[in-house]
Amino acid sequence: MLEPKLPEELRDEMLEEQVTAAIEAGLDVEGCRFYGEDMPDLTGERIEFSGCHFEKCTFPKYASERLVLVDCVLDGCDLTGMVFARATLQRVAFRRCRMTGAQFTEAVLMNVSFVQCGLDYASFAETKAQHLLMEDCALKECGIFRFRWQDWVLRHCVLRQAEIQETSLRGLDVTGCDIDGITVDLTAVRGLRVTRDQAMLLSALLGLVIADP
């Protein structure tokens, strides 16, 4: 996995001012540091951030389609309910972010990491991911539908009551995760790496009856 490449020196800027100026000029927002700022409403707008650091920023529930983040770090931000519709994220790190109910719809994630993030009730639908890390994250009751991935690592995540459909999990390792109450279809579960206890749980969900010897 490739980490975000931030410039050695970042400019401290006001988020709304930079976004407004970039949209008016048809340019990207580059090399900025934003602290404690609120992202303005981007409905109907396309915006790209490159080499930016966001700390304790708040993002609106709805964002523009085709939001682009390249070489960005988001630390301690609130992205509750944010919609990443057709977004492109490349070398992006989310750290200690609140992302309850975030929606990744038809998005592309490349070299993206979520560490200690709250992703309960989030959804990943028709999304493609390559080199994806989720570590120490809460993903309770999240929805994963038609999710296409390559090199997806899950470490110490909570996936209770998660629903995974029409998504191949072949080669994915969830042995260190809590998958109590997870719902998967037969297509999804094939090739999934689990512990013995998790295998018993999944067999019950798939309607198997295990007889005592």
Confidence at residue 210, expressed as pLDDT on a 0 to 100 scale: 56
Looking up tokens 């309770």, which residue turns up?
140
Confidence label for 71 from pLDDT (cuts 50, 70 and 90): very high
Residue 168, amino acid:
S
Confidence label for 149 from pLDDT (cuts 50, 70 and 90): very high
Radius of gyration of the chain (CA): 19
pLDDT (tens digit per residue) in 84-138: 999 999 999 999 999 999 999 999 999 999 999 999 999 999 999 999 999 999 9
Nearest to 82 by CA among 99, 57, 105: 99
pLDDT (tens digit per residue) in 34-68: 999 998 877 767 889 999 999 999 988 766 678 89
Cβ neighbours for 132, distance < 8 A, ≥ 6 positions apart: 109, 112, 113, 149, 151, 152, 153
Give the C-alpha separation, 174 to 143, whole Å: 16
Domain 11-156 in CATH 2.160.20.80? The answer is yes
